[in-house]
Amino acid sequence: MLFLRNTKGRNTATNIQQPHLGVIILALAHVLLYAANATATPAPGSASAPENALYAMDADNPELPNTSDVVDAYIKLRRWTDNFSLPPADDSEAQITLQGARGICVTLRRSGRVLGTGVDNTVDNLMLRRAAGRAFGEVLGDRVVANLPKALQADIGSMLILELEVAGQPEPLLGRTLPDLARQLSPGLDGIAIRRANQWGLQFPSQMRAANIQARIELQFLPLAVQLGLPAQTPAELTAMSDVSLYRFSTIHLVQLSPADQPFSTFRGDVIVPLADVTPQGIADFADGIASHLLRSFSTHKSARGIKGDYLPHIDKYNILIASTFDQALTAFALAKYAQAPGVQQILALEALEASKQILRNLAAMKEGYDNPLASPVSAAAVIYAALEPAQIDRDPSVQQLLADATNLVIKSFDPMKGFIDSKPSVVGWSDVKMSPIGQSIVAGALGRLLKHSYLNQQLTDKFVRSALNSAWKSVPDKQQVMMLPWLGWGEDDFATATNGRTNSTVSNLISLRQILHNSIITEESHSGVLDLCGGFALRGQGLNSATAQSLRPAAYLASMLRDPRLTSPDSLEIALNKHLQTMRFAMQLAIRDTSTWFLRNPPRAIGGVRNGISDIVQPIPAQALGLLTASETLKSLKNLPQGQKNNNL
């Protein structure tokens, strides 16, 4: 598709097909566009450059700088960077006209790390030179660069990736509170500005992305105010001053994958995954990427074995050395499910299955303190899911004992009269508290799985499990029951298998929940400027930033529903499938791909992993597990589609 800036500074789409369904490249050369379908020649050993997609900005949009001017500026700036020197201020080479530009941000990176940033908002033909000079100065002040021999310092520019962001005209913001401002801002797309008399302070989207703070863009007004010598006050207090105003602005953002590559334009710092890429092969590649990402984070150190904690790509660190016992067990379940998915890499599937078994063995050896997987019924329930996955069945006596102990704990955590009870750490040890609704859904679902597998206990009767499922459903209002998926959905599936049928009320409820989710899918028609959010669920209202990796939880169950004829009749299959493929597009959008190598500190660790959200690069373990479960369940359902349905939809 051809993406155009509309008059409100957001992106809309027309019905022009992309010649390649991958990434968006800006191919311009002294005219509005360089040429359609231009490709880049990557430097030896670099990642492949984005190819063959066309991205254009409306040259008549008064909010944005002139596109051709921005491209010309990038070309000259790249030349200055390669030479790592600036032309004299009175030289015509230094005097760059940027029609419609209100500010410039130049960022220079090496291996994803920001070495220098230069910002300038004094509007004249030396604005680019001043911003570049500040960025060059920061590069030379970097500790690593400063310690290089002089000969290497002279060549440093040709090793740097250049990122150029040019601000358009500011739009005033009205609001007395931070939430008021948040409703008017689109994280990752908008920059923010404060004007104090004739003095301006700008914060660019690229600056916020580099620090991973764009998700709460409204909070950045406070430090920006301090930079201008203003007090860190509320918006109402700031704008009450006669000479202070708040603004947002749109930008044109150009970057490259390597210093030798052509520039391309991004949308919120990323490229759009087109719906046409959502094929069985594309989904299998997505699953392979997550599995590879998880396996790369598997620690075999004798003192800390297992999956590491959430990964923070912007600083190349894990938040904790080893993930929680719940996250470990959830990952074991997801890896075992992936190992059975059709179309995935078989060698990788075998590695994933062995890692899954090893995680359970590690958990079986953890018997003390907060690391004990049996300290909480919710963690124990995750153990049950992992240990009962058919491909996972491990005859290791320690794992069998872990499963038996987890089963007893989960059963004891529910009383038909009192409900679900959890255990939480306290100052004096462990104390019983009422289980959260999400916890209840996981535990009730595990009881359904135990019943299905005839992993019997004298208390584990049909009536007992039915009571647990009902109690969990009732823990939240009807309209919020989508948050109980996939666990209660799978619990109902397992209960139906164990008891040879579903009740009409259960079928009706699950179909109703799917309709609620379908109604909440973000589309180009429902919002403007949400190309990357399309297919996600607006689970927290209708805000532009409401779709996150939380969408993967219900999506995992919607994938399972596709192959159940009672839940998805032949008449409703096409609509349900098309909706789910849109959600899979969003899931694939959340994954970090090789087109993001320009900002990654450690690409091998980050690529393939699922982000917490479009505007939050952190890769939480639950997001990896739910992404893998969603992809695996989708591949299983797609394989079972009628042949005609496959031809029509895929």
Q: What is the pLDDT of residue 438?
A: 95
Q: Which of 62, 47, 2 is nearest to 26 (CA)?
A: 2
208: CATH = 3.30.1490.150
318 DSSP assignment: E
Beta bridge mates, 429:
426
Total domains present in the chain: 3
Token output for 204: 């660019």
Per-block average pLDDT, block size 10, for the chain (650 residues)?
33 32 33 29 39 40 83 95 94 92 95 94 94 94 86 86 95 87 88 91 93 87 88 84 89 94 91 94 97 90 78 92 92 96 96 93 73 88 93 78 92 92 60 84 96 72 94 93 96 94 91 94 75 86 69 97 94 94 97 92 94 93 97 95 66
Burial class (CB in 10 A: 0-12, 13-18, 19+), 279: middle
Token output for 517: 């989710």
Q: What is the pLDDT of residue 61?
A: 57
249, 264, 290: which is the final residue of a domain?
249
The alpha-carbon radius of gyration of the chain (Å, integer) is 27
- CA distance linking residue 76 with residue 72, whole number of Å: 6
Do 467 and 414 sit in the same domain of this protein? yes
Token output for 430: 């462990």
- CA distance linking residue 296 with residue 221, whole number of Å: 38
- CA distance linking residue 43 with residue 60, whole number of Å: 35
Provide CB contacts within 8 A for 617, sequence distance 6+: 209, 212, 312, 313, 314, 592, 611
Do 264 and 306 sit in the same domain of this protein? no
The CA distances from residue 128 to 76, 98, 340, 416, 573, in Å, are 10, 9, 54, 70, 55
478: CATH = 1.50.10.10
Do 264 and 357 sit in the same domain of this protein? no
Do 150 and 291 sit in the same domain of this protein? no
List of E strands, 129-226 = 161-167, 171-172, 191-196, 199-203
272, 304, 326: which is the final residue of a domain?
272
Q: What is the pLDDT of residue 42?
A: 34
Do 385 and 469 sit in the same domain of this protein? yes
- 3 state DSSP class of 650: coil
Q: What is the pLDDT of residue 7?
A: 30
Do 323 and 426 sit in the same domain of this protein? yes
Do 183 and 34 sit in the same domain of this protein? no
| Contact in structure between 262 and 35 (CB atoms under 8 Å) | no
Helix residue ranges per DSSP H, 46-177: 67-83, 127-141, 143-146, 150-154
Q: What is the pLDDT of residue 457?
A: 57
Do 153 and 175 sit in the same domain of this protein? no
Q: How far apart are the first and last CA of the chain?
A: 18
Structural domain boundaries, residue 582? 275-649
- CA distance linking residue 364 with residue 233, whole number of Å: 52
Do 239 and 305 sit in the same domain of this protein? no
Helix residue ranges per DSSP H, 212-310: 221-227, 235-239, 280-296
Torsion, Cα of 525, 530, 531, 532 (10° steps): -140
Q: How many CB atoms lie within 10 A of CB 68?
A: 16
As a residue count, the chain comes to 650
Do 472 and 512 sit in the same domain of this protein? yes
- CA distance linking residue 295 with residue 289, whole number of Å: 10
Do 315 and 444 sit in the same domain of this protein? yes
- Peptide bond before residue 235 is cis, with ω within 30 degrees of 0: no
Do 398 and 536 sit in the same domain of this protein? yes
Provide CB contacts within 8 A for 648, sequence distance 6+: 574
